[in-house]
Amino acid sequence: RVCSNALAEALKSTNNAEKRGKWQVLIKSCSKVIIQFLTVMMKPGYIGKFEILDNHRAGKTVLNLTGSLNKYGVISPTFEIQLKDLEKWQNNLPLSHQFGFIVMTTSAGTMHHEEARRKDIGGKNPGILL
């Protein structure tokens, strides 16, 4: 089976495990983007720690869930978000203006939109956390 978007597939399996009440999930593909996205999710406490298992191929990730996340997903296709347009993006995405984060990849690394606003930089938006 060919994976067209590894981040979308990883978040979908994590979302499904969370809905079923599981406390751990095995993500079958491991990339830099997935690891950076999980690190951003871990900072505010949405997920627990994760462990990367190296099988000398694509790698796997074991992720500990906390049950504190409502929904998360990938925004596809990704768009460039300039700092001046961040407020507009926040209002257009469902519920992200009330609670949740827009995850952004920037020149300074992957971070949520509030951190990007503090650092005064824009970037691309691969996903959203609610």
Tell me how many degrees the CA angle 2-124-112 measures, rounded to the nearest 5.
105
Q: What is the pLDDT of residue 51?
A: 93
Question: Omega into 77 within 30° of 0, i.e. cis?
Answer: yes
Q: Work out the percent of the chain whose per-residue pLDDT is above 90.
A: 15
Show the domains of the chain with their CATH numbers: 6-65 (3.30.1370.30), 75-129 (3.30.1490.10)
Question: pLDDT tens across 77-121, in order?
Answer: 777 888 888 888 777 766 555 667 788 888 898 888 889 889 998
Is the confidence at residue 1, as pLDDT, over 60?
no
Total-model pTM: 0.81
115: part of which helix (H) or strand (E)?
Answer: helix 113-119
